[in-house]
Amino acid sequence: MAVPTPPHPLSHLFHPHHAADYADTMRRGVDHLVAALDRVGGPSTGVAPGPAAKPVADVDLDRPLLDVDAALEEMSRLYLDDAVWFHEPTYAAHLNCPVVIPALLAEVFVSGVNSSLDTFDQSVGGTFIERRLVEWTAARIGFGPAADGVFTSGGTQSNLQALLLARDQALATGARPEDLRVVASTDGHFSVQKAARLLGLGDAAVRTVAVDARRRMDPTALSDALATIAADGHHAMAVVATAGTTDFGAIDPLEDVARLAHAHGAWLHVDAAYGGGLLASTTRRGWLAGIERADSVTVDYHKTWFQPVSSSALLVADGAHLGHVTWHADYLNPHDPTGAGHPNQVDKSLQTTRRFDALKLWMTLRIMGPDTIGGYVDDVVDLATEVGAALLRRDDVELAADPQLSTVVFRYRPPGLSVEEAHRLAPLIRSALHARGAAMVAGTKVAGRSWLKLTLLNPMATAADILGIVDEVVAIGDELLAAEDVA
């Protein structure tokens, strides 16, 4: 038998000479993924960490397979076969969306051409595509012509950068570092606390204020917190309002929060990582009324815009504020005394080398249009409303609050079951459900009690799909109780 000649080491490089091999390899990859999709039988197999870790650890990385198909097969075993699939209608755990095909098409170019968006000379048209999308999103927010922004790796980074700008703005206007305070609601995202820590403000710098019955920031509590901060001689450097809280999808009263924040000289950041998709809705854009009064806004396109990870942006009302993150390096973006410098996005970003994630949103908008994306958002909001109403009519489950965006927080609690018991059972039900692999829900705590959460981001899921998960939850709860009775 003839011994196959190994490929030339350089043939692995993306290059016109290797175009045929590139196309062949990519097609094998796409075919492999399509075949894997055909085998998917649920959102997950429920594999435990131990068995998932073992085959990965067993691979000898110093002994390559030297074959595309063999590597694809191995990868399936280590990863694809037990992957969690966000397109499955019974995946209802975290804020992961099914992704749109135009964005996946863009990914081919994002990673193939591999532009880096830090400088114009590494990205050329990419810089202007990103800038157009920033302008477009800013216009949807209602910001004026001074607005600007930059794509980021996610809401965590967008929030960090927003608070960095707020901090440096406060310091530039004479506030003392030790006096700086940040105010968010108790339901704000944990990345606010994390950012405060990273920015050297300390954990005590973040003041959380109460939410109302619908889990929105209570303006009276905000007003009191701001008054206390001022009375103590401290400086409220930022108020963080959330437009779509992670658990309840609650949208803080943006008009009231803006008025109070600005009356106290605080920067207003709106964390619309989740609710930002409403900017594309033709029927619910009004839910974000007041967002245009923010100083900065976080939008996660990889949540409610159906984009693959990563795709997020920080938008600011006044682009001059981005100067707080500008640094001139002689080898990259030197100070140009003639003022004829290139448009370098690195001047606005915490990152240097940065993926051209904007191309995914661009292709999405050009192939599908924003109204279709907004329609998807409306679909999942409608779905949550329908599911919430159906749960209200049942006596074996309880709702924590009326659904607002696209989450439903509920728990198993048949007649006669105590609150304590419902709290104890919720995490047990969740792990049993996960182990069965047929559906995935999230868990959360409300006032120290465990609940279950459905996060609905799949416009193809139906109420019957989601109510089927609830039936499964109830069946598991009944089984657990019955098993305990026997014991």
Ligand X SMILES: *Cc1c(COP(=O)(O)O)cnc(C)c1O
Stretch touching ligand X by CB under 6 A, among 3-11, 31-39, 153-161, 285-293:
153-161
187 in contact with ligand X (CB under 6 A): no
For the beta carbon of residue 320, count every other beta carbon within 10 angstroms: 10
Q: Which residue has the tokens 């000289």?
A: 265
What is the footprint of ligand X within residues 231-290 (CB under 6 A)? 242, 244, 246, 271, 273-274
Contacts (CB under 6 A) with ligand X, residues 311-330:
312
Q: Which is nearer to ligand X, 400 or 476 (CB)?
A: 400
CB closer to ligand X out of 97 and 473: 97
Residue 414: partners with Cβ closer than 8 Å, 6 or more residues away: 395, 396, 474, 477, 478
Q: Residue 80 or 165: which CB sits closer to ligand X?
A: 165
SS3 state of residue 128: helix
Based on CB atoms, which residue is closest to ligand X, 122 or 157? 157
B/e letters for 167-195, b = 16+ CB within 10 Å, e = fewer, are bbbbeeeebeeeebbbbbbebbbebbbbb
In the block, which residue shows the tokens 């097609």?
27
Q: How far is the CB of 95 from ligand X (least distance, A)?
A: 5
Q: Does 466 bind ligand X (CB under 6 A)?
A: no
Angle formed by the axes of helices 219-231 and 254-263, nearest 10°: 10
Show the tokens assigned to 27. 């097609």
Q: Residue 85 CB, nearest distance to ligand X (Å)?
A: 19
What the block records as the tokens of 168 is 């440096």
156 binds ligand X (CB under 6 A): yes
Minimum distance of ligand X from residue 124's CB (angstroms): 28
Q: What does the alpha-carbon distance between residue 310 and residue 303 come to, in Å, rounded to a whole number?
A: 10
Query: Among 155, 290, 459, 477, which residue sits at the site for ligand X (rule: CB under 6 A)?
Result: 155
E strands within 52-190?
A: 91-92, 148-152, 180-185
- Shortest gap between Cβ of 17 and ligand X (angstroms)? 39
Beta bridge partners of 209: 185
Q: Give the nearest distance from C-beta 154 to ligand X in angstroms.
A: 3
Q: 296-300 and 312-316 as β-strands: parallel, antiparallel, unpaired?
A: antiparallel
Specify the residue, 354 or 413, whose C-beta has the smaller distance to ligand X. 354
Site track 118-137 with ligand X (rule: CB under 6 A), x = hit: --------------------
**CB 147, CB 135: distance < 8 Å:** yes
Choose which of 89, 126, 142, 154 interacts with ligand X (CB under 6 A): 154
Q: Which DSSP category does 343 fall into?
A: -
Q: How far apart are CA 313 and CA 304, in angstroms?
A: 13
Query: Least distance to ligand X from the beta carbon of 13, Å?
Result: 32
- Decide whether 185 or 333 has the Cβ nearer to ligand X: 185
Q: Which of 140, 167, 181, 189 binds ligand X (CB under 6 A)?
A: 189
Region class of 456: left (phi > 0), else alpha (psi between -120 and 50), else beta: beta
Considering only 107, 118, 247, 300, the residue that binds ligand X (CB under 6 A) is 300
Instruction: Give the C-alpha separation, 240 to 187, whole Å.
Output: 11
Segment near ligand X (CB under 6 A), from 73-81, 154-162, 414-422, 478-486? 154-162
Strand partners, 409: 453
Decide whether 215 or 413 has the Cβ nearer to ligand X: 215
- In whole angstroms, the minimum distance from the beta carbon of 473 to ligand X comes to 23
* Contact in structure between 147 and 314 (CB atoms under 8 Å): no
User: Closest separation between CB of residue 94 and ligand X, Å?
Assistant: 8
Rounded to the nearest whole angstrom, what is the least distance from the CB of residue 261 to ligand X in the complex? Answer: 18
Q: Taking a C-beta distance cutoff of 8 angstroms, is the pair 155, 270 a contact?
A: no
Rounded to the nearest whole angstrom, what is the least distance from the CB of residue 314 to ligand X in the complex? 11
Residue 155 or 388: the one with the smaller Cβ distance to ligand X is 155
Query: Does a cis peptide bond (omega within 30 degrees of 0) precede residue 44?
Result: no
Using the structure block, give the residue that is written with the tokens 């131990």: 50
Residue 276 vs 459, nearer CB to ligand X: 276
Closest residue to ligand X in the complex (CB): 155
| Residue with Cβ nearer ligand X (43 or 275) | 275
- What is d(CA 106, CA 125) in angstroms, rounded to the nearest whole number? 14
Pick out residues in 342-371 that bind ligand X (CB under 6 A): none
Instruction: Please tell me the distance from the alpha carbon of residue 323 to that of residue 138, in angstroms, as a whole number.
Output: 18
Q: Determine phi and psi for 91, rounding to 5 degrees.
A: -85, 115
Closer by beta carbon to ligand X, 273 or else 365:
273
User: Least separation, in Å, of the C-beta of 160 and ligand X?
Assistant: 9
Q: CA 267 from chain center: how many Å?
A: 23
Nearest approach, Cβ of 245 to ligand X (angstroms)? 6
Query: Nearer Cβ to ligand X, position 11 or 186?
Result: 186
Number of residues interacting with ligand X: please give it, by CB under 6 A.
Answer: 15
Identify the sign of the CA torsion 6, 11, 16, 19: positive
Work out how close the CB of 409 gets to ligand X at its nearest, in angstroms, rounded to a whole number. Answer: 14
Nearer to ligand X, 248 or 376 (CB): 248
Which stretches of 4-147 are assigned E, i.e. beta strand? 91-92
Using CB under 6 A, list all residues that contact ligand X. Answer: 95, 154-156, 159, 189, 191, 242, 244, 246, 271, 273-274, 300, 312
